[in-house]
């Protein structure tokens, strides 16, 4: 089981992030929990790509044939980090607007459409 511990950590982070979103009472807190959920995907991807004893995939000081960790997951993560940052910016802007209109940041304040 210790060989798959990192994956278990990713699952743990995912579920607690989702719990945070479901029970959140403040929109900015909710956005932070969304970031936590996204972190679980980073942990998963990087754990998958890891290679014991491998160097970083930069071949400046080491010969090109050295065993290195997987660069593909790192490229995926790079894209994901940018996507996360920008979606969070949008959500925070929306939350700010809600705060301006309703003087509160609670999700209960934005239940104008129901049923």
Partner 1 sequence: MESLAALPVVLPLLAAALIATLAKLLPRRIADGITLAVCAAVIAIEVRLIIGTWHQPFVTWLGGWKPRGPIALGISLHLEPLGLCFALLTAILVFAALVFALRYFDTVENHFHVLLLIFLGALSCLCVTGDLFNLLVSFELAGAVAYALCGYKTEDTAALQGAINFAVSNTVGALLVLWGLGLLYGRTGALNLEQIGTSIASSPPDALIVVAFTLVSCGLLVKAAMAPFHFWLADAHAVAPSPVCAIFSGVMVTAPLLALARIHASVFSVPFFPHENALREILLGFGTATALLGAILCFAQRHFKRLLAFSTIAHVGLMVTGLGLFAPAALGGTAIYALGHGLIKGALFLLAGVMLHRLGNVDELELRGKGRGLPLLGLAIALGALAVAGGPLSGIFAGAAAIEEEAKGAGYGWLPHVFAFTGIVTGAAILRATGRIFLGLGPVSSGAGAGGGQTGEAPETFGSEDRTPVPMIVAPALLLLLGLGLGAVPGLGELAMDQASRFLGQGPAGPPPTHALEPLANAVPRSLLLVALTIALAGIDLAQGKLGTGGRGLLIRVEKLLIHPLRLLHTGHIGDYVAWQVAGVAAFAFLCLYLLR
Partner 2 sequence: MNGARLFLFGLGAGALAIALLLAVSGLPPVGDFRGPYGELINGLAGPERHVSNAVGALVFDTRGFDTLLEEFILFGSVTGTAVLLRPTHRQSSEGGKQMAGSDAADRLLVLLLIGASVTFGYYVVTHGQLTPGGGFQGGALLASVPLLVYLACGPGLLYRIVPRELVSGAGAAGAALYAGIGLLGLAAGGAYLENVLPLGPARPSIVSGGTIPLLGLASGLEVGAGFALLIRVFLEERHRE
- How crowded is the C-beta side of 15, counted as CA atoms within 13 Å? 5
111: contact with partner 1 by CB under 8 A? yes
- Member of 6, 28, 35, 36 binding partner 2 (CB under 8 A): 6
56: contact with partner 2 by CB under 8 A? yes
101: contact with partner 2 by CB under 8 A? no
CB closer to partner 2, 4 vs 112: 4
φ, ψ of residue 59 to 5 degrees: the values are: -105, 45
Pair 20, 38: CB distance under 8 Å: no
Pair 37, 18: CB distance under 8 Å: yes
Pair 29, 96: CB distance under 8 Å: no
Q: Which does 114 bind (CB under 5 to 8 A by kind): partner 1, partner 2, none?
A: partner 1
Q: Which of residues 8-47 bind partner 2 (CB under 8 A)?
A: 8, 10-11, 14-15, 18-19, 22-23, 44, 47
Question: How many CB atoms lie under 10 A from the CB of residue 95?
Answer: 19
In angstroms, rounded to a whole number, what is the distance separating the alpha carbons of residues 18 and 31? 11
Please report, as ranges, the residues that interact with partner 1 according to CB under 8 A.
14, 18, 21-24, 27, 30, 34, 37-38, 40-41, 44-45, 48, 72-73, 76, 79-80, 83, 86-87, 90-91, 94-95, 97-98, 101-102, 107-115
């Amino acid at each position: 089981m210790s060989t798959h511990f990192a994956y278990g950590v990713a699952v743990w982070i995912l579920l607690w992030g989702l719990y945070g979103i479901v029970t959140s009472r403040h929109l900015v807190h909710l956005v932070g929990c969304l970031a936590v959920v996204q972190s679980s995907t980073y942990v998963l991807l990087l754990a998958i790509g890891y290679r014991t004893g491998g160097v970083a995939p930069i071949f400046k000081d080491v010969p090109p044939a050295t065993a290195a960790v997987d660069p593909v997951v790192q490229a995926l993560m790079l894209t994901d980090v940018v996507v996360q940052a920008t979606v969070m910016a949008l959500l925070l802007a929306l939350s700010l607007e809600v705060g301006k209109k309703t003087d509160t940041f609670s999700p209960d304040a934005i239940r104008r459409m129901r049923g």
